[in-house]
Amino acid sequence: MMKDIATPIRTQEILAKHGLTVKKSLGQNFLIDPNILRKIVGKANLTKQSAAIEIGPGIGALTEHLARDAGKVLAFEIDQRLLPVLEDTLSPYDNVAIVHSDILKADVQQAIDKELQGYDDIMVVANLPYYVTTPIILKLLLEKLPIRGMVVMLQKEVAERITAKPGSKAYGSLSIAIQYYTEAEMVVTVPKSVFLPQPNVDSAVIRMIKRPQPQVEVIDEDFFFLVTRGSFAQRRKTIFNNLQTAMPQGKEKKELIVKALEEAGIEPARRGETLSIEEFGLLSDKLHAYFG
């Protein structure tokens, strides 16, 4: 078997061979530890009947592990300079398709239709560029792609927010948006020493498995997200105060907010961080009757 890309020596050799400098603005922190890669890929439970979608293959460190375990890999890379590098480093693998695109602008469904035909089990597996982790995860969930879930490396602080439970400091509208669609858990914490260059922040890997149905059934999803975002707009304020700002003409229609809170069985003096997703679902439906 070929030597792993993800060792300090091989990574340096590849960068030197291609005269490549790392672009910090694109979140380029390459993995140089094969053990971490094995752990990440292991958490995705891939077989040769699975396909993997990678965001930001870089010089191919994770991509080659995916190519070994999965039937096919589809990877999106924004940095044109990396395309010839990937062609070189991934030449031993014939089951990788690279798309040169910003993932936030890419038509991912179309790429799946073209490259991953016949694969029923699709996982997103990535060491994400840290400057855009949340928009990438939300895009992949909101587009309702035919994926089983995602295993992604990201900043530990964001990982904590995504997986947080009610009552904790990290719990907020991001936790709700993602847990509404997925079961999310932190699976590995990662030291800075496994990257080249080392990032300024700590990292973690989270696994998100899509739920067959969202965690709560609501009348209007957009309105539900308006309510949850609004409820955390000022974390120190009560849910009643935050909703007065979040609801259209909420200040003039305070009594309707009180009524909806009462109907949902929620004390107006509570803070957003104490409400479960189920409580937010119920509250959202009650408010929808007056403000939707």
Considering the rule CB under 6 A, would residue 28 count as an interface residue with ligand SAM?
Answer: yes
Check residue 77 and report its DSSP letter: E
* Percent helix, strand and coil across the chain, each to the nearest 5: 45, 20, 40
Q: Which amino acid is at 209?
A: I
What's the sign of the alpha-carbon dihedral 280, 266, 239, 241?
A: positive
Under the criterion CB under 6 A, does residue 89 sit at the interface with ligand SAM?
A: no
Report which of 63, 116, 72, 69 is spatially closest to residue 90, judged by C-alpha positions. Answer: 63
* 85 near ligand SAM, judged by CB under 6 A: no
Q: Closest separation between CB of residue 23 and ligand SAM, Å?
A: 7
Q: Which of 15, 26, 138, 186 touches ligand SAM (CB under 6 A)?
A: 26
91-130 residues in contact with ligand SAM (CB under 6 A) are 102-104, 127, 129
How many residues would you count in the chain?
292
Closest approach, Cβ 241 to ligand SAM, in A, equals 37
78 lies in the binding site for ligand SAM (CB under 6 A): yes
Q: Which residue is nearest to ligand SAM (CB)?
A: 56
- Asked whether position 56 contacts ligand SAM by CB under 6 A, the answer is yes
Strands 72-77 and 50-55: parallel
**φ/ψ (deg, to 5) at 290:** -105, -30
Measured over the CA atoms of residue 236, residue 237, residue 238 and residue 243, the dihedral's sign is negative
Does the protein bind ligand SAM through residue 30 (CB under 6 A)?
yes
> Using CB under 6 A as the criterion, which residues of the chain lie in contact with ligand SAM when the complex forms?
26-31, 55-58, 61-62, 76-79, 82, 102-104, 127, 129, 132
